[in-house]
Structure 1
Amino acid sequence: MPHHSACRISPHRNPANEGVFDVTTQQGTTDLHAMAANLSLPGEAFIDGGFRPAASGKVFENVNPATGAVLNTVAACDAADVDTAVAAGRRAFKEGSWSRVAPEERKAVLIRLAELIRADAEALATMESLDSGKTITDCRNEIGHEVPAFFQWYGELIDKTFGKIAPTDEQTLALILQEPIGVAGVVLPWNFPLLMAAWKVAPALAAGCSVVVKPAEQTPLTALRLAQLALEAGVPAGVLNVVPGFGETAGQAIGRHADIDVVSFTGSTEIGAMFLRYASDSNLKPVGLEMGGKSPFIVLDDAEINEALIENAVMAALWNGGQNCSANMRQYVSAGRKAEYLDKVSARISRLKVGDPLDPETDIGAMVSSEHRDRVMSYIEKGVSEGARLVRGGGGLEGSDGFFVLPTLFDDVTQEMTIAREEIFGPVLGVIPFDTAEAALEMAADSVYGLHASVFTRDIDRALHFARRLPCGTISINSFSEGDIKTPFGGYKRSGSLARDNGTEAMQQYLQAKTVWIARSS
């Protein structure tokens, strides 16, 4: 396969600026369908270094969102399987085959894992596109570039992370050490399956933890393949385990498990709240939460409404089919500029291609499931019934059995409407006018969520004012960007906890501080 450098990626995560694989050097649509037909799809849990069925023998059907067809059956793990995985992780942690080896050894293994992911990227991207309905272009960009970069970056960080020595008198020495917390439970979402695994598994492994992963039941395949590659790279058996299953069984078992030392969760705010209750009911384990959002996109009156701004606006709302927790669906535009803005956004949306995710020309694939498609459609219907004007979209893809929703544009949205307040998680963009910058700031901040915001202005003073006043974990100025691997990502209010993914901050979820106080013997 072509080397991953064929992918041209912006140095920061901004889908409006990301290039795509040069499809003339990649496999065409026909070849991708042939590869998809011949892929060996993992279906069993990966525990203690090998694949095995669920202890109960139960399985569930894994469905291709683009066609509605069953891809394969997958082990439906429950508390018994989580117990086995945690026991394997705890044994490996105590033995020290990963937790106590020299940092250079863990570094070498994670860098080797990054190389194996790059070598397997085309098959992994095809597998993920089949499993999730995501476009092959997005899957190639994420898996060919971002996923291995996370394992390499955290691998490189391992031998550059230092403890501290506290100031004392000459008779004592005070060491402040950072040690792996133990067994980490990682619960993943379905919108970026392998990328979110990398966000959490890479720093957890770098810290020296054992890990038990529960992928979303809609998208289990690439996490299972990742565990297999990790073993091949040299991660010892028992250190990385993957238990596919449902939230109410495998997910809850992880949350309530008394021998799991920390949980990192990405998903809805409602389920995140459950993990806090699970921790309270069990061993008071720390819980890192990255949850929902209703992120604003603000175009002030001095912004130039050019091609770049419009590209950012459309991608902010519709990238990945809007199935993105930081999606900027509610777009606040200076009232005097709204007509121009709406026309240009509508024209750009009209050029988006919706359809076969394995076609490199497709811009928007399928919703992840029929249930989620119906949920998104219910929000669109709610928008119409509450008085928003449907400019384009609002339906499905004719002639398809897949779970598609056409990119949808609303005008005349007001701050009180359901579509302006609740997370839709679909390809919906709503335009809300404002009269003054302070009115825009007040409306943008008026949300129970606080994950992300984008602000467009040519006035640096206004930009900094908005950046300081918006209660969000990430603010992007004159772009829609989530930052990059070096910058922490997480939310305020109901969008998250104090924990952060990405950056050196992500490692802190999986480490605990120990003080060693040494007194001079008399």
Structure 2
Amino acid sequence: MGLKQQQYINGEWTNAISGNTREIINPYNQEVIATVPEGDEEDAKAAIVAARETFDSGEWATTPATERGSIVRKIAELIERDREELARLESLDTGKTVEESRGDMDDIAGVFRYYAEIADKDGGELIDSPVPNSISRVVHEPVGVCGQITPWNYPLLQASWKLAPALATGNTLIMKPSEITPLTTIKVFELIEEAGVPAGVANLVLGSGNTVGAELSSNTNVDLISFTGGIVTGKKIMQAASVNVKKLALELGGKNPNIIFTDADFETAVDQALNGVFFHAGQICSAGTRLIVEESIHDEFVSALVERVKNFKLGSGFDEDTQMGPLISAEHLAKVEQYVETGRKEGATLAVGGSRPEDPELQKGFFYLPTIFTDCTTDMSIVQDEAFGPVITVEKFRTEEEAVKLANDSIYGLAGGVWTSDIVKAERCVAKMRMGTVWINEFNLYFPHAPWGGFKQSGIGRELGRLGMEEYTETKHIFQNLQPEPINWF
């Protein structure tokens, strides 16, 4: 496939110091598609030293922002050039449809372009000074050495949300992609090198969270950790990062409510409710897996969902007819199966799905049928816990107040949706919903210049937008007295 299949540390492509390797599996048929280094703490330490020395040298941090922006823009252009190769790798690695992966590549290039455009737009600000003949100004400087840990569901998309603002603001970084989906991240580091990013600025270490991730989190030479993944791991990173009070940017998933009022456009709401969950087999942190439907249309709405779901085409991501691919791994498939079994035990009604498909052509892959539970209540763990799979739970409500209360009844607060033709009602609901993003008559839309992140235990900080860039800067106040005089206090 023309991929280096190595780590990238201090401008050099390397194998793991230990010599260990890992096989990367295609979730569609379990074939080995690549063998990559399996780094550990020693590889992470080598990358941290390179990033620390490079940052402290000032070479990248003092490069004019316009020049940094030009390099970030070049990365976007190279991604566009290699769009088809990247999309193919992403689909091989994750099992998602290649059409989804092509869309991801367009979004990824857009993220790099956005941060390239705003890289030189922050010149600081002058603020009023209480002292005559003085200058008081505020500037934003790079944080320093950034550890970046990305998930397996959107490997390169999530990497772009971290790489682009970190590079644009003059930081150095060490990226650790998920150990099971590293291929497109390796490829984009080839493009980073081709674009002219200096050695030591961007480093790539492959390996597990227990080794590489733990070292990045606890090493005192790392100034910031940006992590996207599960809440349990996020809490461990917070604890480890306290050793030197690192800056943290955490996106820890969600259990996202999608409220459907009777006065919504019925067909559109049905269609978008399905789109909001079943892309990439539900392996999306913002998936609208909690449908909260007004009682008067509940039965009709569920029936419409079920009829559509029965006709889903599962298969290879490279088959143009495929609508939904496999789950990422045998381990994750078992987790989703256990989640569904829990729903049965809790008394939820299985409306459709709830098993692996019987199609002989799908038996080698990690496939699971799209599943819908009804008669769900917020005291059920399937309503509270993130399945991260193709499973919808459906709850009923009678009043607007009840709908909002149900939506907020969660430890998470990443995203949510409201479907209604009454815009005033929609705005009342949005004002009370405790989530980082709320869509009105839409679901799962995002774009580079809008911030992304969650309330409550969905995380800390924001990615994308100007706020996503600010995560990678420190604020400094500089005061200059133009006519210093003795105070004569002592």
Which bin holds the TM-score, normalised by the shorter protein?
A: over 0.9
8 Å contact 1:394–1:408 — kept in the other structure? yes
Per-residue deviation at 1:202? Answer: 0.4
Per-residue deviation at 1:233? Answer: 0.5
For 1:167-218, what per-residue CA distance to the aligned partner results, in whole angstroms no more than 9, with x for missing partners?
1243111121111111111000111000000011100111110110000111
Per-residue deviation at 1:388? Answer: 1.7
Provide the secondary structure at the position in 1 that maps to 2:417: strand
8 Å contact 1:266–1:290 — kept in the other structure? yes
2:119 aligned with 1:129: no
Provide the secondary structure at the position in 2 that maps to 1:160: coil
The amino acid across from 1:242 in the alignment is L
| More deviation, 159-168/291-300 | 159-168
Per-residue deviation at 1:385? Answer: 2.1
Q: Which residue of 2 aligns with 1:167?
A: 128
For 1:255-282, what per-residue CA distance to the aligned partner results, in whole angstroms no more than 9, with x for missing partners?
01110110110001111101110111x2
Per-residue deviation at 1:347? Answer: 2.0
Per-residue deviation at 1:61? Answer: 1.8
2:474 aligned with 1:509: no
- Matched residues, number: 480
For 1:395-439, what per-residue CA distance to the aligned partner results, in whole angstroms no more than 9, with x for missing partners?
223322111111112222222222111100000112111122211
For 1:425-463, what per-residue CA distance to the aligned partner results, in whole angstroms no more than 9, with x for missing partners?
000112111122211111111111111110011112211
Q: Which residue of 2 aligns with 1:360?
A: 320
Looking at structure 2, the residues matched to 371 and 41 of structure 1 have their Cα atoms a distance apart, in angstroms, of 27
Q: Which of 410, 428, 432 does residue 373 from structure 2 map onto? A: 410
8 Å contact 2:141–2:476 — kept in the other structure? yes
Q: Which residue of 2 aligns with 1:13?
A: none
Q: Which residue of 2 aligns with 1:207?
A: 169
The amino acid across from 2:255 in the alignment is K
Per-residue deviation at 1:315? Answer: 1.1
2:231 aligned with 1:269: yes
2:215 aligned with 1:259: no
Per-residue deviation at 1:146? Answer: 0.5
Q: Which residue of 2 aligns with 1:330?
A: 290
For 1:221-257, what per-residue CA distance to the aligned partner results, in whole angstroms no more than 9, with x for missing partners?
1111111101101111111111110010001010011
Q: Which residue of 2 aligns with 1:33?
A: none
Per-residue deviation at 1:95? Answer: 2.7
Looking at structure 2, the residues matched to 49 and 358 of structure 1 have their Cα atoms a distance apart, in angstroms, of 34
Where in structure 1 are there 5+ consecutive unaligned residues? 1-38
Q: Which residue of 2 aligns with 1:34?
A: none
Per-residue deviation at 1:133? Answer: 1.2
Where in structure 2 are there 5+ consecutive unaligned residues? 485-490
2:374 aligned with 1:374: no
Looking at structure 2, the residues matched to 72 and 104 of structure 1 have their Cα atoms a distance apart, in angstroms, of 38
Q: CA RMSD in A?
A: 1.2
Looking at structure 2, the residues matched to 207 and 417 of structure 1 have their Cα atoms a distance apart, in angstroms, of 44
For 1:461-507, what per-residue CA distance to the aligned partner results, in whole angstroms no more than 9, with x for missing partners?
2111111111111100111034311111100111011x100100001
The amino acid across from 2:413 in the alignment is G
8 Å contact 1:482–1:489 — kept in the other structure? no
2:334 aligned with 1:386: no
Q: Which of 307, 314, 335 does residue 274 from structure 2 map onto? A: 314
Provide the secondary structure at the position in 1 that maps to 2:191: helix
Per-residue deviation at 1:60? Answer: 1.7
Q: Which of 401, 408, 414 does residue 445 from structure 1 map onto? A: 408
Looking at structure 2, the residues matched to 279 and 410 of structure 1 have their Cα atoms a distance apart, in angstroms, of 39
Q: Which residue of 2 aligns with 1:197?
A: 159
TM-score normalized with structure 1 length: 0.90
Q: Which of 462, 465, 485 does residue 425 from structure 2 map onto? A: 462
8 Å contact 1:42–1:221 — kept in the other structure? no
8 Å contact 1:176–1:514 — kept in the other structure? yes
Q: Which residue of 2 aligns with 1:22?
A: none
Q: Which residue of 1 aligns with 2:487?
A: none
8 Å contact 2:98–2:318 — kept in the other structure? yes
The amino acid across from 2:301 in the alignment is Y
The amino acid across from 2:387 in the alignment is I
The amino acid across from 1:382 in the alignment is T
The amino acid across from 1:250 in the alignment is V
Q: Which residue of 2 aligns with 1:28?
A: none
Looking at structure 2, the residues matched to 443 and 218 of structure 1 have their Cα atoms a distance apart, in angstroms, of 36
For 1:300-332, what per-residue CA distance to the aligned partner results, in whole angstroms no more than 9, with x for missing partners?
1222312x2111100112121110111111101
Q: Which of 182, 204, 211 does residue 220 from structure 1 map onto? A: 182
Looking at structure 2, the residues matched to 378 and 165 of structure 1 have their Cα atoms a distance apart, in angstroms, of 57
Q: Which residue of 2 aligns with 1:45?
A: 7
The amino acid across from 2:18 in the alignment is S
Provide the secondary structure at the position in 2 that maps to 1:488: coil
2:433 aligned with 1:473: no
8 Å contact 1:408–1:427 — kept in the other structure? yes
8 Å contact 1:318–1:429 — kept in the other structure? no
TM-score normalized with structure 2 length: 0.96
Provide the secondary structure at the position in 1 that maps to 2:120: helix
Looking at structure 1, the residues matched to 37 and 397 of structure 2 have their Cα atoms a distance apart, in angstroms, of 51
For 1:120-141, what per-residue CA distance to the aligned partner results, in whole angstroms no more than 9, with x for missing partners?
1111111111111111111111
For 1:45-102, what per-residue CA distance to the aligned partner results, in whole angstroms no more than 9, with x for missing partners?
1111121011111112211111112222221111111111111112222233321111
Provide the secondary structure at the position in 2 that maps to 1:453: strand
Q: Which residue of 2 aligns with 1:350?
A: 310
Looking at structure 1, the residues matched to 307 and 150 of structure 2 have their Cα atoms a distance apart, in angstroms, of 35
2:451 aligned with 1:488: yes
Looking at structure 2, the residues matched to 485 and 86 of structure 1 have their Cα atoms a distance apart, in angstroms, of 28
Give 1:85-234 correspondences, 5 Å limit: 85-143=47-105, 145-168=106-129, 169-234=131-196
Structure 1: which 4+ aligned runs deviate by more than 3 Å? none
Q: Percent identity?
A: 38
The amino acid across from 1:402 in the alignment is G
Looking at structure 2, the residues matched to 483 and 294 of structure 1 have their Cα atoms a distance apart, in angstroms, of 17
8 Å contact 1:41–1:72 — kept in the other structure? no
Q: Which residue of 2 aligns with 1:35?
A: none
The amino acid across from 1:290 in the alignment is E
